[in-house]
Every structure is written in C-alpha cells, then in structure tokens.
Structure 1
Amino acid sequence: GSEEKGNLRSECKRTPPKEVLASSPAYLKDLDALLQTTPASTIRSYLQWRILSSFSSYLPSKYTAANFNFQKKVYGLQTQKPRWKTCVSGTSSSLGFALGQLFVDETFSKESRDTAEEMIQDIITAFESNLATVEWMDDDTKNKAKEKADAILHKIGYPDNLSTADQLNAYYANLPVTETSSYMENIFSSINFDVQANLDKLDKAVDKKEWDMIPPTVNAYYNPPNNEIVFPAGILQSPFYDGSFLRASNYGGMGVVMGHELTHGFDDEGSQYDKDGNLIPWWPEDVSAKFKEKTKCIADEYSAFQIVDGDHVNGNLTLGENIADNGGLRESFQAYRSWVNRSEDQGGNGGKEEPHLPGLPNLTPNQLFFLSFATVWCGNTRAEEEHRRILTDPHSPGRFRVIGTLSNSEDFAREFNCERGTKMNPENKCRVW
C-alpha cells in the first residue's frame, strides 16, 4: 500500500534511475497480477516470514529450531548445521574478500593461476576452431562470434585489486564491525554496507574489476553485461583441478567448467549480448531460427530423463546449462588434445601422450579425461531436495549432466568403443556448438 511505499522511499533516499533493465518481464507481470488478488494481510505475513527465515541463523535457538523444522520438510534435512559452520558462513557473507585472501594465501599458487590461464586460452581457441563446423551459422555471424570470444575477459582465482591488506582495509573502511557490538548488530552493519554499495552503482559505469563471487566459492560464472568468465580459487581445487593431477584430469574436470562458462556467452541468454556486453541483437533472424531448432533437440532429450515418482527433468528450464555442458565438454577435450600435440618428448618431438595412472594400465589418458568429467558430478541427493531442484534449478541433476552430455559426444563414443546405436552412442545426437 501507499504506507509501505512511503517507508521504502524514506529509507532509500535515492533518486530512481531513468532506465531499469527488467530481466524477467513476464515474471514481473504475473507477480503484479498475483499481488493484486492477494490479501494485504497475506503479503505482510509472507514478508515477515521471509525476514525471520533469512535471519534465523542469527537469532535465538527457538527461531533456528522453527526454521529447521521447515527445512526438514522442504529439503529433507536430517541434522542441523553445526554452529561453527554457521559462524564461518556469517564471516564469509560479511567479510568474504578478506576471508578469501586468507584462503588464497593458503591454497592457491601463482603456478595454478598460470596453468588455469593457459587452459582458458586453449579452450577459447578450441571454441573458435569449432565454429568452422557449426553448419547452422553463416560466415559473417561466425566472425562476430569469434570477435566476442576474443573479447571475453577472464578472471582467475581472486581480484587483483583486493589482494593486499591495504586494499582490503580501504574496501571495508565504511563497514563498522566491532567486538563491542552484538553479533546481530554486526550482521546489520554488513547488510547495510552491501546495500549502500549496490545503491552507489546507480547511474554509474559498470566496474569491470568487480567480482560477483568471493575467492573461496566453489562455483564459476559468465556475466553477459561484462562479457566475462570468472573462476574463483575455490573451484580451482580438487576434484576439479590440482597441480599434481595429469592434464587429462584437469581438462576433464576444470577444463569442462571453463568451456561451460565460455559457452554461456553463446547460449539462449548469452547470445543476446554482443562482444561489449550490450543487449543488442547480433544474429540474423534466420540464424536465430536455426539455433532454436538445434536447442529444441537438447530440450527434448533432457525432458525425457526421468527421476523418480514421475518427475522429469525440465528441458526448457535447464536448456542454457545443458547447452553449456555439451559445448564445454567438446571444447575442453579438443583443448586437451591441443596441449598434448604441442607437448614434446625428450627428442623434441610434439605429441607426447601423458602416462597411464599407476595400477590402471588399461585406462588411457583420453578415457581419464571423460572419467574426470563424470566424477565431479557424483552426488547423493535426498528425494525432497531432488524434487525441489527439478522444479527450480536451471541445472539438470548431476547424473543426467553426465549421461546427456557424454551420449552426445562422438569423442567419448570413440574413446570407449561404444557400439553405434547404443544408449551412450545413439544414432541421432544433439549438437549446438
């Protein structure tokens, strides 16, 4: 109502921006329609619950217990998170870059960063080489795709501008965290610090040095407006990456993640942004139509995957991630083979293959690549959580990320001698990139 709007305006004290990019206009329209027909008392109760739920881990035990009972129903959780994990999580949320630099100093070497940079360059080169075999795209658009791939900014490990004590002290200068304040007061200070930092960005140029993830994060992302791929130090660890691993294992694990994020720049969302990160169409209509035909194959394939109790993967919800998985695997395998081809033996000859793992003489390095890819998606998910993910997660369940991607790979079928027409080497395969 008008009272709530007035309160929000008085708290914000900012002039609204002239333009706002609504990333999900259809959702906002449906939300508006829902709010129009929902009693105000229900909306207030929902907002109160959301606030209490989000702060429950910082509140007395009766609130924590009530929220955990809710989580048991939704996620199938059996035990509460130990207090030390809650404390680490709170520190990570409030002082993520300071904590992150401690993590980097302990776990992430310059050699790892240099190797990751080399891998990314190999994968970009593989993507650009693959463009020649993409039949649904014309030459002019392929050239623009190559320009976009060349322009992609890659950030590895940690932000250089937040890597020293002086830089971190300056960054957190306006965050009053003190030992004399209560835990909740410090949490509120941290939240206010983050909100003010976001409000300060209004009507300003994008800061391309900024990171949306802190260094310990076990994840990666592609950011369309910046045309950048980001790999925090947290994911550049085992089982995705380790300096002592064979390159086959590192390309199969971390390399596929790198190819995955690169391919996001050319999936159903990323393809709408040009090389400078502007939301400008750069594909002709006929190319877009052919792209949709190719992606329908992926959507239909994954929609056929059944979980339990009639639940199926939503091939449309997971489309962008599935496109990225398939493209990332292809690019990373080709990048690995490129690395092998330029590796020299003692006589200076290129094409030196890596050794087999001890005790596994029949597992070739190429097969190890695919095994490493599959291994990182091993998991054991409770039925309640798996059902929730099917409804809301843009990623397919781990086992289908493996089965779907490998069954579309000619390289996998060749290396494992899969008979044509079998489940893992079907006659009709889906390929976008």
Structure 2
Amino acid sequence: MRKLATTLAAGVAVAGMLAFAPPGDKKPTKYIDKANMDLSVKPGDNFYLYANGAWLKANPVPGSKTRWGSFDVLREESSKRLQTLLTEASKKTSDAKMQQIGDLYLSGMDTVAIDKMGYQPIAADLKRIDAIQNVDGLLNEIAYARTQGISSALFGFFVSQDRKDVTKYIPQLSQGGTTLPDRDYYLKADNRSTTIRNAYAQHLNKMFALVGENAATAAAHADAVLRIETALAKAQMSRVEMRDPYKTYNKFAVKDFSATTPSINWNGMLGNLQLKGADSLVVNNPSFFKTVDALLTAVPLSDWKTYLKWRVIDNNAAYLAKPFAQQNFAMTQVLTGQKEMSPRWQFVSGIIDNQLGDLLGQLYVSKYFKPEAKVRMQELVKNLETTFAGRIQRLDWMSDETKVKALEKLNAFTKKIGYPDVWKDYASIKIDRNDFVGNLRRASQWAYNDMVTRYGQPVDKTRWGMTPPTINAYYSPSNNEIAFPAGILQFPFFDFGADDAINYGGIGAVIGHEITHGFDDNGAQYAADGNLKNWWTKEDEAKFKSRANQVVEQYNAFTVLDTIHVNGKLTLGENIADLGGLNMAYEAFTKTKQFKEGKKIDGFTPAQRFFLNWAQVWRSNALPETQAQLILTDPHSPGMARANGPVTNIDAWYEAFNIQPGDKMYVAPEKRIKIW
C-alpha cells in the first residue's frame, strides 16, 4: 500500500524548505528577524549560523519529528489544514466525495476497532503463502500481491514513459526487494551499519512472533529474510550509479529478457501483473534480475515463502493493531532517532493525501489557494525564464551551437501551477469506515489499475507527480516540465505582503532551482522534446562535466556528522540546481524597483535580505541518526551545505556582506564555480 514508484525528477527539497517564521494565515511582523540570527558569527565564516544560529538553538527537534526546520514548521501547519478538511468531511454524508475521504479518515482513526482485529487483515495472505508449492507459485503470488495492493516484493514494476520515446508508455522493471533504506546497511561493516543490521534482525524476529510464531521459528525466519535481502542488496547498484539515465536504460524484447532469467517467463509475469500486449520493457539493472533468477532456485522454497510473508507484514504493519504499529515504530527509531510516534491524525491524513490526493486536493485548493497566487507565480516564472535565457546567451564556456539547443529546451518548458486541470476520479473505490486496511488496499488497487491501463494509450501530460497540498516542487525530464503545487504557493514561500528580496530569495530561488534541474548533470541529458538524447557538442559537454566535477569536490568537503561527509556525486543534481537557481533568482531580483532603490529594511540592504532569506530557507535541526541516514539516501545536501555552498560561488554575496580574504568561507574569484 505504499505509493507506486515514479520516474519523476527530484523536487526542490526533502531535508528542508523555505520558511522564515511559523506559518499560518497571519502575516509575520518581520520577514528577517535579527532575533533568529547569531550576530556573533561573521557572515563570511559561517553564513548559515549567522542567519540562523539563535533560531537553531531555540528550536530543538520535537519528540514526534526526526528534524525541525523551515519546511517542517510549514508542513506541520499544512497537516493541520488537512485535519480540518478531513474532520469536516467525516461529518457529511450527503456529498459522496466528502463521505469517501471522511470515511477513510474515520476508519484510520478508529484504533479500537483496528486493535481488535490484531493481524486478521493479513491472516489470509499469510495462509495463501503457506500453500505455495513451487517457484511458479511463488512468482504468481508476487504478482498477485502487487496487483491487489497487499505488498511489493523482489523488484520494482511500473508503467511510465519510454525515456527515448516519450510519446509512448512502456513497462519498466527496477532493482528492489530490500527493506532497509539503502543497500549499504546490509553490506558495510562500520558501527552504524552493524548496529542497524542487528536491530533489524531483532525487529524481524519480533514481528514474526507477533503473527504467532514460536521463538525458534521466528529466529530462523528472521535469519532467512536477512540472508535473502543481503543477497539482493549485493546485486543492487548504488544510488550514485542509479543516477545515470543511460546506465539504467536497458530495453529488451520481452522474450529476449526472459532468456536471461530462465526461472521467470516475463510474458507470463506481465500478464499476471495485468499488463496485456507488451512486447518490450526497460530494465534499470539487468544483472540484478540474473541474480534474482539464480536465487530463485538456489534458496529453499521455504525461505522464499518466509520472505514473502515478511513483505506482507512489513507493508501492512503500520496499519495493523497497536503491537505491530509500535514494533514498526521501534525500527523507525533505530533508523531515525525519532522519540515519539506521530499523532494519529497526522499519520492518517498523510495516508489520505497519498492515496486520494486529488480528492483531498480539491478541498484544499477551494479553501486555501488564492487564484491571485497563480497569476503572480506565472509572472515570476516568466521573469526567471527570461533571466535564464539571458544567462545562457552570455555563457563564456558554451558554443553558439549548443546555446541554440539549450534555449530551445528552455522555451519548450511546460509550466504547471497550483493543481491539475483534470482531477482523478476515485468514485469506483469502495470505502468502508470499518475497514482501514481494506480501504487502503482498494485505493492501491485503483492506483495500480490506473497505472497499467495507461499502456497503449497516448501519454497524458496533464498528470501531476505531486498532490496539490504538497509543499514542494519538481521538474520532470521526460515531460520537460516544472510544477509548483498549491501547497508551496503561500507564505512563507512567497507572500503578497513581502518585499521582492524575500519573494525572490524564496519562491524565486525555488523556480530557478526547478528550471536548472532541466540543465543539471541528469536533466541536461534530455532534449527539448523530453527524450533522452545528446544535444551537446563534445567540447561543450566536456566543459560542463568539468565544471560539474568542481561542484562534486566542493560538496564532498562538507562534514555532516563526525566523520561523515556529503556525497558530492549523489547530491550533484540538487547542488547544481541550487547554484543555478540562486544565481538566476538574484539576477532577476536586480531588475526590481526595490533592488534599484537600495533602501534598507530592518537594517539590511535589499541584497542582504535576499541572501539572508536564502539562508533561512534551509535552517533545520536533525537528529544524528536521521542525518546519517539522509547522507546515504537523500539526493539533497544537508541544510548548512545548501545555504553555504552556492553563495560562496556568487560574487554578489561577497559584495553584500563585505566578505574578505581570511574569512573561513572566502573563495578566490578565479576559483568560484560558474555553470549556469
């Protein structure tokens, strides 16, 4: 019942977002508040702490969170809005749509009924797995569980655009099958990885005990799952390798791919996955599937059945009775350090946003989204695009030939703002206020069917990759589009009452970030029509890669937690987008009346307010365990690196704060990185 994988490109943030004060419907008295700053720190020594030091000290991570920063404050407020909408919906029975999400909310909030059920919602699934007689039965169960919203096991499967022919949908297979957040947790021998792996073994043991297994059996089954998942992890590519769109594009005729996996007939498997008529597919890691094929015969069937049981338990544990939910959270604590479970209402409302996002989104937009925000956003996007076009034309490292192609791509951008033009219709999903797990399964079945029925149909570019309440934004390379959900189009991302320095340092930088994603190390490999194909001259491509490598080296030098460094290769796309977006937003800001007049507000010049706002965007406290996990899994750099990294490469920042040689963040002009 987890959200199906997508091929959308990265959004602007995972680890933090834009906020300058607690959000809400009341406007703040100050957008830049010295009370949040640490004026004892020189801006040229640590700009992030200069801008945020007092706020960071005064805002530790709450017990039910893993991090607390600008984005998290806003997300908290947004979730309260969803709670209000869902509470109202649960009281209305005359409106079918309202009742649908209201009943789903009530079913998730009825913990008394959920606790009485124990693990009965998955008992039939476990019994069905017990009856499997051979490898074919095992594969049939994997397909069935996926189509029915029960669980996903062994590999990833989705239907999405063909990266080299974006006018068509194609089935795609991806490496998968593991439970821990990254392959390294299974393979590394450092203390953190070993501690987590040992805790995971205990977690498996306790979960199997909760479904009635005796101590010896539970221990044996835990060992079997860990052995299988470790073997799968060894076959997986790293997250850095997975960023290569060519390395992960391996197109096969279905019959030819079946020849590489004798134990799996992919024609039959695709049929069981309810996909009819496909003659080809794309595989992101073919060698992984060869390993899977070998394991299917090398590993005893009894162990595979145990593994499938675990996938069912794990996929459903958070939605089952209290002992399961608590043990599920106990493992989360080990991974993230989180002290308390999220409030139930917040947990359930998040699930509904995930499962019935367009329906909840309609309510959200009608109550909280201001139409004038969309108009203003359209103006800002146009300003940023015009600015970027000028920057491309002035690049001293790119030939005129490649500039033409770059401008062609920029001019072909599709812009989505606020919410979809066409809403998804969930009317066929049966929602029973007394059947939480069943509701989630039926919603997942609907989403799965919605996905597989796209095959053979014209590509629908009206679809969104995020729900309207989402506080984020994204760029899709295959659609060459940027999207800004309604959730982000409010204070503190941008505010009609704020000066331009705030809005350009906030939403302006977000817009610039998403535009630059079309030209980061990954997005730059896609052409104006969205297809994966090279539009660069060899010389220009080499120059771009050289400059991108400078960004890798800069971020590799950031230390996050004791000896842990930022992974410059994993975060490269986001770091290029930050650098390009901030440059673009600042130049667009210099065209405004505020910048030209140069008047101070609260003691700061327009340029200073712009950069201070940028730094406030990324303020965030995170638990050590969470920081360690994010370094492995998150393509975004931590907040301090995002605040400090780009500004050291921008001449205007040095001028605004009189940064001099000898300051810790000072970089000589000739060494400042300039890409876009």
TM-score between the two structures when normalised by the length of structure 2: 0.58
- Asked whether 1:429 is paired with 2:672, we answer yes
| Residue aligning to 1:377 | 618
Q: Report SS of the residue matched to 2:597.
A: coil
Please, which moves more after superposition, 267-276 or 312-321?
267-276
Q: Relative to structure 1, is the Cα distance of residues 280 and 415 closer, same or farther in structure 2, using a 3 angstrom cutoff? A: same
Deviation at 1:237, TM superposition (A): 2.4
Deviation at 1:201, TM superposition (A): 1.1
Deviation at 1:234, TM superposition (A): 1.1
Higher relative contact order (CA 8 A, sep 6+): 2
| Residue aligning to 1:411 | 652
Deviation at 1:17, TM superposition (A): 2.6
Contact 1:119 1:335 in 2 (8 A): no
How far apart, CA to CA, are the structure 2 residues paired with 1:53 and 1:371? 43
Deviation at 1:34, TM superposition (A): 6.8
Moved over 6 A (4+): none
How far apart, CA to CA, are the structure 2 residues paired with 1:420 and 1:121? 37
| Residue aligning to 2:597 | 353
Q: Relative to structure 1, is the Cα distance of residues 420 and 133 closer, same or farther in structure 2, using a 3 angstrom cutoff? A: farther
How far apart, CA to CA, are the structure 1 residues paired with 2:381 and 2:654? 25
User: For 1:101, which of 345, 350, 362 is the aligned residue?
Assistant: 362
Q: Relative to structure 1, is the Cα distance of residues 354 and 424 closer, same or farther in structure 2, using a 3 angstrom cutoff? A: same
| Percent identity of equivalent pairs | 37
Contact 1:148 1:275 in 2 (8 A): yes
Amino acid in the other structure paired with 2:430: P
Q: Relative to structure 1, is the Cα distance of residues 122 and 61 closer, same or farther in structure 2, using a 3 angstrom cutoff? A: same
Q: Report SS of the residue matched to 1:299.
A: helix
How far apart, CA to CA, are the structure 1 residues paired with 2:567 and 2:628? 12
Unaligned runs of 5+ residues in structure 2 are 1-134, 144-268
Deviations 1:140-194 (A, max 9, x none): 11011111111100101111223xxxxx6xx123222244x51111111100000
Deviation at 1:18, TM superposition (A): 2.9
| Residue aligning to 1:151 | 412
How far apart, CA to CA, are the structure 2 residues paired with 1:42 and 1:408? 54
Contact 1:407 1:423 in 2 (8 A): no
| Residue aligning to 2:138 | 4
Q: Relative to structure 1, is the Cα distance of residues 376 and 313 closer, same or farther in structure 2, using a 3 angstrom cutoff? A: same
Q: Relative to structure 1, is the Cα distance of residues 66 and 294 closer, same or farther in structure 2, using a 3 angstrom cutoff? A: same
- Asked whether 1:275 is paired with 2:516, we answer no
Q: For 1:242-257, list aligned pairs within 5 A.
A: 242-257=495-510
Deviation at 1:30, TM superposition (A): 4.3
Contact 1:122 1:338 in 2 (8 A): no
TM-score between the two structures when normalised by the length of structure 1: 0.89
| Residue aligning to 1:347 | none
| Residue aligning to 1:187 | 440
How far apart, CA to CA, are the structure 1 residues paired with 2:500 and 2:306? 54
Deviations 1:258-307 (A, max 9, x none): 11111010111111111111112111222211111110100001001111
| Residue aligning to 2:572 | 319
- Asked whether 1:141 is paired with 2:399, we answer no
| Residue aligning to 1:76 | 337
Please, which moves more after superposition, 47-56 or 311-320?
47-56
Amino acid in the other structure paired with 1:124: E
How far apart, CA to CA, are the structure 2 residues paired with 1:94 and 1:307? 35
| Residue aligning to 1:213 | 466
| Residue aligning to 2:322 | 61
| Residue aligning to 1:348 | none
How far apart, CA to CA, are the structure 2 residues paired with 1:71 and 1:276? 42
Deviation at 1:249, TM superposition (A): 0.5
Deviation at 1:221, TM superposition (A): 0.6
| Residue aligning to 2:482 | 229
Contact 1:148 1:274 in 2 (8 A): yes
Q: Relative to structure 1, is the Cα distance of residues 49 and 234 closer, same or farther in structure 2, using a 3 angstrom cutoff? A: farther
Deviation at 1:89, TM superposition (A): 1.4
Q: Report SS of the residue matched to 1:338.
A: coil
- What is the count of residue pairs matched by the alignment? 410
Amino acid in the other structure paired with 2:571: T
| Residue aligning to 2:353 | 92
Q: Relative to structure 1, is the Cα distance of residues 66 and 284 closer, same or farther in structure 2, using a 3 angstrom cutoff? A: same
How far apart, CA to CA, are the structure 1 residues paired with 2:366 and 2:320? 33
How far apart, CA to CA, are the structure 1 residues paired with 2:575 and 2:289? 28
Deviations 1:116-151 (A, max 9, x none): 111111111111111133222210110111111111
Unaligned runs of 5+ residues in structure 1 are 163-167, 344-350
Contact 2:502 2:610 in 1 (8 A): yes
Structure with a larger share of its residues in strand: 2
Q: Relative to structure 1, is the Cα distance of residues 211 and 63 closer, same or farther in structure 2, using a 3 angstrom cutoff? A: same
Please, which moves more after superposition, 198-207 or 310-319?
198-207
Please, which moves more after superposition, 331-340 or 308-317?
331-340
How far apart, CA to CA, are the structure 2 residues paired with 1:241 and 1:206? 33
Q: Relative to structure 1, is the Cα distance of residues 246 and 52 closer, same or farther in structure 2, using a 3 angstrom cutoff? A: farther
Q: Relative to structure 1, is the Cα distance of residues 31 and 321 closer, same or farther in structure 2, using a 3 angstrom cutoff? A: farther
Q: Relative to structure 1, is the Cα distance of residues 32 and 377 closer, same or farther in structure 2, using a 3 angstrom cutoff? A: farther
Contact 1:246 1:354 in 2 (8 A): no
- Asked whether 1:39 is paired with 2:299, we answer yes
Q: Relative to structure 1, is the Cα distance of residues 55 and 238 closer, same or farther in structure 2, using a 3 angstrom cutoff? A: farther
| Residue aligning to 1:264 | 517
| Residue aligning to 1:346 | none
